[in-house]
Amino acid sequence: MFNVLSNILVIAGTCILIGALFLVRQLIAQLPAGLVRRRWYILSIFIGFFVLGYISYTAVFWSRHTAWLDLIVPSVFFFGAGFVWLTATLSLHTAIDIRRVTVLEHENITDPLIGIYNRRYLDRRLQEEFVRARRYSLPLSVLLLDIDHFKRINDAYGHQVGDLVLSYLGKLLLSAIRATDIIARYGGEEILIIAPSTTASSAVALAERIRQHVETHELVLTSEPNKRQAIRITVSVGVVELDQEAADSQGLVHNADEALFRAKREGRNRVVLHD
């Protein structure tokens, strides 16, 4: 009886460990590449060694359990395997929950069409950067840009192509801004860029780089031979730096909007610094 019970405990523990290995594989699939993922790979190797150890123990002591004391080691094996399985299960569920929360948070602050931050996130970050710049006497600049003649694109190609242009512009801007810049959709085709710790001259240089980057690229609609169709767009940019006259963050945006209006009035495809 002791022999049968001991064998059952060890074999059941082996099966539980194998099940834990499958859970760990699912967990690894949820993790991004990096140190944490590599450590879970190492843990799965350890579990594999435990499985081999359980099998070896069963083979060596298959018929040698004759007393209650002989059940101690198989019991430890069984409950140890249960602990590993429970740890893997909880880790997997935790990783899934964290990933779900991260996705929801990302969707909550991201514009789904352009792929940049939305207005909700923009208002919060702009206020935070405004307060920080005021408190520590740091420079702060804002860039407000708009696609030139966007209505003509919608009228000529349709709103579906207009959406493609907005999405394409988002990719161009993300590749042109700096890591410290915060870019968000302000409204319609207007996009606002917060440039922390940036003076007016540096902000104008950034805006000019963005303008040239957009101007020199094109969105290819059809690449078939003899039917190639592409769209080139340009942007007008209004730039403003925080000064003592700005009472709040919205005043900063208002000044950037005035500069953008001047850029359009003076011929578009240009950068204008608020006077």
Active site residues: 189
Nearest to 148 by CA among 250, 260, 249: 260
Query: Do the beta carbons of residue 172 and residue 213 sit within 8 Å?
Result: yes
Query: Do the beta carbons of residue 219 and residue 231 sit within 8 Å?
Result: yes
How far apart (Å, rounded) are the C-alpha atoms in residues 39 and 212?
45
Q: Which residue matches tokens 């990783």?
A: 95
How far apart (Å, rounded) are the C-alpha atoms in residues 115 and 129?
22
User: What token pair was written down for 125?
Assistant: 């970050």
Query: Do the beta carbons of residue 208 and residue 176 sit within 8 Å?
Result: no
How far apart (Å, rounded) are the C-alpha atoms in residues 174 and 172?
6
Do the bridges between strand 140-147 and strand 182-187 make them parallel or antiparallel, or are there none, so unpaired?
unpaired
